[in-house]
Amino acid sequence: MFNLPESVDKPDFSLGNILTGLKVQSRVIYALILRDAQTRYGRHQLGFLWLFIEPLFFVLMFILFKVYMREKDTGGMHSAYFMTSGLVPFLLFRQLMQNMGKCIDNSRQLLAFPQVTTFDVLLATIIIEFAATLFVFVSLVVGISLLDVPPNIEDPLMLLIGIFLLGITGAGVGLIFGSLSPLYPSLKTITNPLLGRPLFITSGIFFSAEMLPAGLREYALYNPLLHMVEIVRSAFFIEFESRYIDWHYACLFALGLFLCGLLCHQVFRNEVMKRG
Amino acid sequence: MIRLENVSKSYRTNSGTNHVLRNVNIEFPDSRSIGILGLNGTGKSTLIRILGKAEQPDSGRIFCDTRVSWPLGYSGGFQNNLTARENCKFVARIYGESPKYVEEFTCEFAELGEYFDMPMRFYSAGMRARFAFAVSFACNFECYLVDEALETGDARYKEKFRLAFEERRNGCSVILVSHNESTIRRTCDSAAVLENGELTLYDNLKEAFQVYKFLQSRAA
């Protein structure tokens, strides 16, 4: 009964096999994305509007504040665009930081399907958050240009890179916290007050590094997110070019945290599954 | 055929390690439907999950050259906040089937009525099982892994499934975990007994049930 064919002993790494694997994986990710879009934004129209509420609120508050201060712009930049270009990419960071741990919890049921892995779930979440961010970003820019002046976007590619860096940093932090939270449940409750809120204030959403007093700036620049926000703004505005961007520092942090997050996930995955 | 090669799986419990499978070597041929017998807590469900690759064994390898379903059970596989229709489409997509066909087939076969468009958290265990069977039937698997789910649901519907399985008998096989002797007698033509980490396949049901009864009497 047990005469085994020899091919069983070695895994099959032939090109055909890899291609089939990729095909299955992209099918799974596509299905996950559609499912996610449905649960999160599709069920009622409000879910979709919710995407816009926070950015709109802060952009409006910022403009009101500027009007109150009798300032026309922000360091030479259009205030509404200034706020949009800082806030929306930052929200991607925060969103991914908060969702990476949760998305596995939410899809636990689906892991009963052998072709669905936690990796697919993570990737689908990252893709959908990126898409949502780009959608909000473009909508706000179109909205502002209809109401006021059209923007002069300097370098769309660099803009995307900046947003990408913020995204994977968020994903990395989210994965680290998400992987450790089954072991230390209290981590869940402190992520936002400990990281989200301070970073919201210090990452240059409401200011650019240029505007800070020199003494404060020195410390603020330790925050890698500030560099990333500066990258986004420098790419967005022709009239603005930050002198304080350290590309190495920003990229190293983003990639380092992301890899670290993936590693944590890999190591603690079984633990997460068991505790349910 | 699904073949386990030196598969081991254990869980740590408060009182020590529970070896669910110890170096199990077994082959489930395509042509037969097999029931899995075992006392409570011996790890039948874990075995089914390992066969369906929903769970990794600690060591060993699973070799499989048929299209095997996911483990059909009371729970698992479906997203509670989605409707049955949406879950159908998801399953169809990940198995590369036509979403429209799977949706129509399931809708008709599961007989869920208006519940088909309600989130699955409102479903009873029986409705869930019905839905799981209908979707898996739509996907045309060659081997169905069933974890007790045949016990739920009313008699009429059970009969419907039995007939549907019967119809496909030539094309597909079933690996079934059940406590119900009559379910196994009706559906399977051989049975395996899981006991103390060892899985033994018996060619005829009679022998398997004798061993199972002996285990039961010893436990009692």
Which pLDDT does position A46 carry in this prediction? 72
Three-class SS of A183-204: CCCHHHHHHHHHHHHHHHHHCC
Residues of A in contact with B80 (CB under 8 A): 109
Burial class (CB in 10 A: 0-12, 13-18, 19+), A134: middle
Residues of A in contact with B82 (CB under 8 A): 35, 38-39
% pLDDT > 70, chain A: 92
Burial class (CB in 10 A: 0-12, 13-18, 19+), A251: middle
pLDDT average, residue stretch A55-62: 89
Question: What is the SS3 assignment for B83?
Answer: strand
Which pLDDT does position B139 carry in this prediction? 87
Query: Using CB atoms, which residue from B27, B93, B95 is nearest to A1?
Result: B27
Classify domain B1-69+144-220 at the CATH superfamily level.
P-loop containing nucleotide triphosphate hydrolases (3.40.50.300)
Distance from CA of B181 to the nearest CA of A (A): 27
Where in chain B is CATH 3.40.50.300?
Answer: 1-69+144-220
Q: Which two tokens stand for residue A72?
A: 């026309």
Which pLDDT does position A85 carry in this prediction? 93
State the amino acid at position B217 in one-letter form: S
pLDDT in tens, A71-107: 877 778 888 999 999 999 999 999 999 888 788 887 8
d(CA B5, CA A96) in angstroms, rounded, equals: 41
**Which residue, among B94, B141, B144, B145, would best test binding to A if mutated, counting the most A CBs under 10 Å from its CB?**
B94
Q: Which two tokens stand for residue B47?
A: 């075995």
d(CA B192, CA B194) in angstroms, rounded, equals: 7
| Contact yes or no for B9/B21 (Cβ under 8 A) | yes
Size of interface A-B (CB pairs under 8 A): 63
The residues of chain B scoring below 50 in pLDDT are none
Across all residues in chain A, what is the average pLDDT? 86
What's the gap between Cα B75 and its chain centre? 11
Which pLDDT does position A9 carry in this prediction? 44
Is B90 in the A-facing interface, judged by CB distances under 8 Å? Answer: yes
> Which residue of chain B has the CA closest to A116?
B94
| Contact yes or no for A205/A229 (Cβ under 8 A) | yes
Contact between chains at B77 and A113 (C-beta distance less than 8 A): yes
Strands (E) in chain B, as ranges, are: 2-13, 16-28, 34-37, 59-64, 143-147, 173-177, 190-195, 198-202
pLDDT in tens, A196-251: 889 999 999 999 998 899 999 999 999 999 999 999 999 999 988 889 999 999 99
Q: Cβ of B62: how many Cβ atoms within 10 Å?
A: 16
Q: Which of the two residues, A1 and B152, has the higher pLDDT score?
A: B152
Which pLDDT does position B152 carry in this prediction? 64
The secondary structure of residue A127, as a DSSP letter, is H
pLDDT average, residue stretch A106-134: 90
| Contact yes or no for A196/A97 (Cβ under 8 A) | yes
pLDDT in tens, A11-28: 567 788 888 889 999 999
Q: Which two tokens stand for residue B190?
A: 């051989």
Length of chain A equals: 276
Residues of B in contact with A4 (CB under 8 A): 3, 5
Residue A1 pLDDT exceeds 50: no
Q: Which two tokens stand for residue A262?
A: 């993936």
Is A110 in the B-facing interface, judged by CB distances under 8 Å? Answer: yes
**pLDDT category, A7, cuts 50, 70, 90?**
very low
Which pLDDT does position B75 carry in this prediction? 66
Q: Bridge-partner residues for B62, per DSSP? A: B4
Q: Which two tokens stand for residue A57?
A: 């609120």
What's the gap between Cα A257 and its chain centre? 13
Burial class (CB in 10 A: 0-12, 13-18, 19+), A270: exposed
